DNA sequence: GAGCACTGC
């Protein structure tokens, strides 16, 4: 059956392929097979086994033959010995057995859903199967495979380049922020999902690609969700574009249903490949645990006492909890070694803000027995969710899962994103358990009851799109040409209130006009990889004669904090920070620190050392520098002037403070009353305190703040003193007195208006 | 007088 349908299609497909050969698709003669002989190192298409293959009508056998040949069909060079070694292991992967089945399905449909568990080889193999069927060199369109994380895009691209026996950056490449390793010969490109989205803003039809593979779609990152919706639309206009959605098994059906293009269409076809993992035995507690950290520590010690050799992975929710648990485990293990001859244990904390060299330590070997023939040592890693997806550690046999993680939640009413310790989902619990079975059969100890697992845990973690502020997303979608956001076909549509809040904010920022259309400012703002407020501030900054400085501040605000404050040296760190402090605000303090850093660099100092001495993060300062360079390029393209007020000019800092308001006029707070430390945010009247990390010692009546943080109390963090008159001048629409509820802020604005009017009248009278 | 789940452009 399958064979005859393939033969039937052959004629028409062949016609297409020849057509596309005649057309020079991308203006680069290297891609035109008729000119290929002019190109010495790329001229083997005419003898290549690929020549006999017909696009969208190839077989697994043909591909295998091409792969087996002495000459590399993609480069014309002789295959290395290593290539054949790798080829052999590739053919042992579970996915290999289904290559023909995959091709049959790929040929018969425009969109297909592919599920494969870890170890199936889907991320490396499927794009290569597609490559041997798409034959991109005949028509010049690329194959893209997206990943949620940069490291994955880089390492998988390297792996696949090795498998195909080509140089990374040539036929196989990757593209991530700050690094594009692709070239004119590139046929297969790994990239982050965010990067593809950014490309789409300039190429909304994604016309450079003939096939787009979305990997790890089950993670449901914001970018993946937008891409899915976008691709679903594009697919209806571009019948030549193929789409593969790759996911873990659990939610395959949801993807299938979603990717049925029209209501009357059947669900998108599904291909499933088994993974290669070992069984993991699950244990539950008979009763709910009151204190999960305590229970987790106890469980780890118990494993160490009675279970055979094998490393332990414990999931907790954050840095503090992890460091605390590590200390407690370490003390107890010392006792066990002394009292009951237990084996040694190395304990490693693991969380995202840990510097990379400390993260690397988790890959150290487990310790040797203390004496010859003694009880074996083991490794215990205490990690956040980072070990659930981003980092895989081989050798884990025991997983301890208390069932919690910190999750971002967004409250559209108060417009606050915050982190909350919440129960994980079933999918997460399953993923965590799976970490125990990567190298041999393992055990997972869940510190909750089986009933709680079945009845209380939700199936899937809510996708990010339902838990985020969408201002940035909405701006991107407008730039992508989506007019009707209300009917835009998201897999999980965000709450209308979240959308309304985003539209409202973008309207106040003048990125959208009153009809919801993208303005010139909005279009320009979308070019920057920044939140809309920051982008608008940056674009407006030449009007305040300080775009150089605002560019620096913007970069510093878009990287993690540059201030280091070690627990054992807080005082010294604070003293150092005070050296950079500007009395008027933290934004200016940041700028001072950055200028000092650049100064040290220009003086030829050892900057790493200089940062260390000044309790500044070299890592984050240099990444701010990277961001600055990228933003600067975008400014130049958009002809946004780079200017400074001379430092000697008395308005140097005033201009910067005023410029901050151009993007952050909605993030202003007024002191509740003189002699109070409590502030009230404008319009939404939240009572807040200034975050203790501030370098500002004076108490000002009006401040602009960078972020609202909800922890033990409500704080505003990174603040700068402003004059309220500036608000009337810079954001007159937002500060229209009539739009304010009755209260202190409204009265203050009324008084302010009168003052301004009096002053103008006096000027006019003179 | 706090804290920083994790990504990404």
Count of CB atoms situated within 10 Å of the CB of A612: 13
pLDDT score of A683 = 85
Query: Smallest Cα–C1' distance to nucleotide B3: which residue has it?
Result: A320
- Rounded to whole angstroms, the distance from the CA of residue A283 to the C1' of nucleotide B6 is 27
DSSP tally for chain A: helices H, then strands E: 27, 21
pLDDT tens-digit readout, A331-354: 999 999 998 888 999 999 999 888
- Residue the block writes with tokens 């190192």: A41
Residue A190 CA to residue A146 CA, distance in Å, equals 6
- Rounded to whole angstroms, the distance from the CA of residue A683 to the C1' of nucleotide B1 is 28
CA atoms within 13 A on the CB side of A551: 22
- Rounded to whole angstroms, the distance from the CA of residue A352 to the C1' of nucleotide B3 is 14
pLDDT > 70 fraction of chain A, expressed in percent and rounded: 94
pLDDT score of A341 = 85
Residue A6 CA to residue A46 CA, distance in Å, equals 25
Residue A346 CA to residue A342 CA, distance in Å, equals 13
pLDDT score of A45 = 47
Tokens of A22: 């005649």
Q: Whose C1' is closest to the CA of A421: which nucleotide? A: B5
pLDDT score of A29 = 42
Q: Whose C1' is closest to the CA of A150: which nucleotide? A: B8
pLDDT score of A372 = 84
Q: Whose C1' is closest to the CA of A677: which nucleotide? A: B1
Question: What band does A69 get if pLDDT is binned at 50, 70 and 90?
Answer: very high
- Rounded to whole angstroms, the distance from the CA of residue A115 to the C1' of nucleotide B8 is 24
Residue A205 CA to residue A596 CA, distance in Å, equals 46
Q: Whose C1' is closest to the CA of A693: which nucleotide? A: B2
Q: Whose C1' is closest to the CA of A352: which nucleotide? A: B6
Q: Whose C1' is closest to the CA of A319: which nucleotide? A: B4
Question: What band does A370 get if pLDDT is binned at 50, 70 and 90?
Answer: confident
What Rg, from alpha-carbon coordinates, does chain A have?
29
* Residue A148 main-chain phi, psi, to 5 deg: -70, -25
- Rounded to whole angstroms, the distance from the CA of residue A695 to the C1' of nucleotide B2 is 13
Which bases of strand B have any atom within 7 Å of the beta carbon of a protein residue?
1-9
Task: Calculate the average pLDDT of chain A.
Answer: 89
Among the listed residues A700, A659, A708, A660, the one whose alpha carbon sits nearest the alpha carbon of residue A683: A708
Query: Smallest Cα–C1' distance to nucleotide B6: which residue has it?
Result: A386
- Residue the block writes with tokens 């000044």: A614
Q: Whose C1' is closest to the CA of A153: which nucleotide? A: B8
- Rounded to whole angstroms, the distance from the CA of residue A679 to the C1' of nucleotide B2 is 17
Residue A77 CA to residue A40 CA, distance in Å, equals 11
Query: Smallest Cα–C1' distance to nucleotide B1: which residue has it?
Result: A692
| CB within 8 Å of A624: residues ≥ 6 apart | A552, A555, A556, A558, A559, A562, A594
Tokens of A90: 């590739």
pLDDT tens-digit readout, A432-458: 999 998 889 999 999 999 999 999 999
Residue A691 CA to residue A716 CA, distance in Å, equals 6
- Rounded to whole angstroms, the distance from the CA of residue A9 to the C1' of nucleotide B3 is 63
pLDDT score of A28 = 45
Out of A18-22, A83-87, A586-590, least confident range:
A18-22
| CB within 8 Å of A383: residues ≥ 6 apart | A313, A314, A315, A316, A322, A349, A350, A351, A362, A391
Q: Calculate the alpha carbon distances from A478 to A339, A473, A635, A674 in Å.
A: 67, 9, 20, 44
Count of CB atoms situated within 10 Å of the CB of A729: 13
* Residue A115 main-chain phi, psi, to 5 deg: -115, 135
- Rounded to whole angstroms, the distance from the CA of residue A712 to the C1' of nucleotide B2 is 9
E-strand stretches of A259-366: 270-273, 280-284, 311-315, 345-350
Among the listed residues A706, A665, A729, the one whose alpha carbon sits nearest the alpha carbon of residue A554: A706
pLDDT score of A640 = 96
pLDDT tens-digit readout, A12-61: 333 333 333 333 444 444 444 444 444 444 444 456 788 888 899 999 99
pLDDT at A311 over 60: yes
Q: Whose C1' is closest to the CA of A531: which nucleotide? A: B9
pLDDT at A296 over 50: yes
- Rounded to whole angstroms, the distance from the CA of residue A419 to the C1' of nucleotide B7 is 15
pLDDT score of A417 = 82
Query: Smallest Cα–C1' distance to nucleotide B5: which residue has it?
Result: A406
- Rounded to whole angstroms, the distance from the CA of residue A618 to the C1' of nucleotide B3 is 20
pLDDT score of A615 = 92
pLDDT at A135 over 70: yes
pLDDT score of A15 = 36
pLDDT score of A118 = 74
pLDDT score of A419 = 83
Query: Smallest Cα–C1' distance to nucleotide B9: which residue has it?
Result: A529
Question: What does the pLDDT average to over A700-709?
Answer: 93
Out of A285-299, A562-576, A658-672, least confident range:
A562-576
- Residue the block writes with tokens 């790493």: A608
């Amino acid at each position: 059956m399958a064979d005859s349908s393939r033969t039937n299609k052959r004629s028409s497909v062949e016609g297409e392929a020849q057509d596309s050969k005649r057309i020079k698709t991308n203006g680069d003669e290297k891609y035109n097979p008729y000119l290929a002989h002019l190109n010495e190192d790329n001229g083997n298409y005419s003898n290549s086994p690929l020549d006999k293959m017909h696009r969208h009508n190839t077989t697994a056998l043909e591909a295998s033959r091409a792969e087996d040949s002495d000459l590399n069909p993609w480069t014309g060079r002789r295959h290395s010995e290593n290539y054949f070694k790798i080829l052999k292991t590739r053919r042992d992967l579970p996915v290999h057995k289904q290559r023909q089945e995959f091709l049959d399905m790929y040929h018969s449909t425009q969109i297909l859903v592919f599920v494969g568990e870890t170890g199936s080889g889907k991320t490396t193999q499927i794009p290569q199967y597609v490559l041997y069927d798409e034959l991109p060199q005949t028509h010049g369109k690329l194959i893209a495979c997206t990943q949620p994380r940069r490291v994955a895009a880089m390492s998988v691209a390297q792996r696949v380049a090795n498998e195909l026996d080509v140089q990374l950056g040539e036929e196989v490449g990757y593209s991530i922020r700050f690094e594009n390793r692709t070239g004119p010969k590139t046929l297969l490109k790994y990239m982050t999902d965010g990067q593809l989205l950014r490309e789409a803003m300039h190429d909304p039809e994604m016309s450079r690609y003939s096939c787009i593979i979305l990997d790890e779609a089950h993670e449901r990152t914001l970018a993946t969700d937008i891409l899915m919706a976008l691709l679903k639309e594009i697919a209806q206009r571009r019948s030549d574009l193929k789409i593969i959605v790759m996911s873990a098994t659990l939610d395959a059906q949801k993807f299938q249903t979603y990717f049925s293009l029209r209501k009357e269409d059947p669900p998108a076809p599904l291909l499933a490949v088994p993974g290669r993992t070992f069984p993991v035995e699950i244990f539950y507690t008979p009763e709910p645990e009151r204190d999960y950290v305590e229970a987790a520590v106890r469980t780890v010690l118990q494993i160490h006492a009675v279970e055979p050799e094998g490393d332990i992975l414990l999931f907790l929710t954050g840095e503090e909890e992890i460091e605390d648990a590590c200390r407690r485990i370490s003390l107890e293990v010392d006792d066990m070694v002394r009292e009951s001859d237990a084996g040694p244990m190395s304990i490693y904390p693991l969380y995202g803000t840990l510097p990379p060299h400390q993260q690397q330590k988790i890959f150290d070997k487990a310790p040797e027995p203390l004496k010859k023939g003694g009880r074996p040592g083991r490794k215990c890693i205490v990690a956040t969710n980072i070990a659930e997806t981003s980092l895989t550690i081989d050798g884990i046999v025991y997983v301890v899962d208390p069932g919690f993680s910190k999750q971002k939640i967004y409250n559209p009413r108060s417009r606050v994103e915050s982190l909350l310790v919440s129960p994980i989902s079933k999918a997460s619990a399953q993923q965590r358990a799976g970490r125990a079975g990567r190298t041999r059969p393992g055990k997972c100890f869940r510190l909750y009851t089986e009933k709680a697992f079945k009845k209380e845990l939700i199936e899937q973690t809510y996708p990010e799109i339902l838990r985020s502020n969408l201002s940035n997303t909405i701006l991107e979608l407008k730039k992508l040409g989506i007019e009707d956001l209300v009917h835009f076909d998201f897999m999980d549509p965000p709450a209308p209130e979240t959308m309304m809040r985003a539209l409202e904010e973008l309207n106040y920022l003048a990125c959208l006009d009153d009809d919801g259309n993208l303005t010139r400012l909005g279009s320009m703002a979308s070019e920057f990889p920044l939140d809309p407020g920051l982008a608008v501030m940056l674009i407006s900054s030449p009007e305040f004669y300080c775009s150089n400085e605002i560019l620096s501040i913007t970069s510093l605000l878009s990287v993690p904090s540059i201030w280091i404050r070690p627990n054992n040296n807080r005082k010294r760190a604070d003293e150092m920070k005070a050296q950079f402090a500007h009395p008027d605000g933290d934004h200016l303090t940041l700028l001072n620190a950055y200028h000092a850093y650049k100064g040290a660099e220009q003086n030829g100092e050892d900057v790493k050392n200089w940062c260390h001495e000044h309790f500044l993060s070299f890592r984050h300062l240099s990444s701010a520098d990277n961001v600055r360079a990228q933003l600067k390029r975008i400014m130049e393209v958009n002809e946004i002037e780079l200017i400074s007020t001379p430092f000697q000019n008395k308005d140097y800092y005033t201009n910067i403070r005023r410029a901050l308001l151009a993007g952050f006029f909605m993030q202003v707070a007024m002191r509740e009353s003189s002699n109070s430390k409590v502030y009230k945010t404008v319009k939404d009247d939240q009572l807040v305190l200034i975050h203790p990390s501030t370098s500002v010692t004076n108490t000002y009546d009006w401040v602009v703040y960078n972020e609202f943080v909800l922890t033990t109390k409500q704080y505003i963090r990174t603040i700068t003193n402003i004059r309220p008159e500036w608000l009337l001048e810079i954001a007159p629409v937002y500060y229209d007195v009539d739009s304010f509820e009755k209260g202190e802020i409204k009265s203050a604005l009324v008084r302010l208006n009168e003052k301004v009017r009096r002053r103008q009248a006096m000027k006019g009278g003179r």
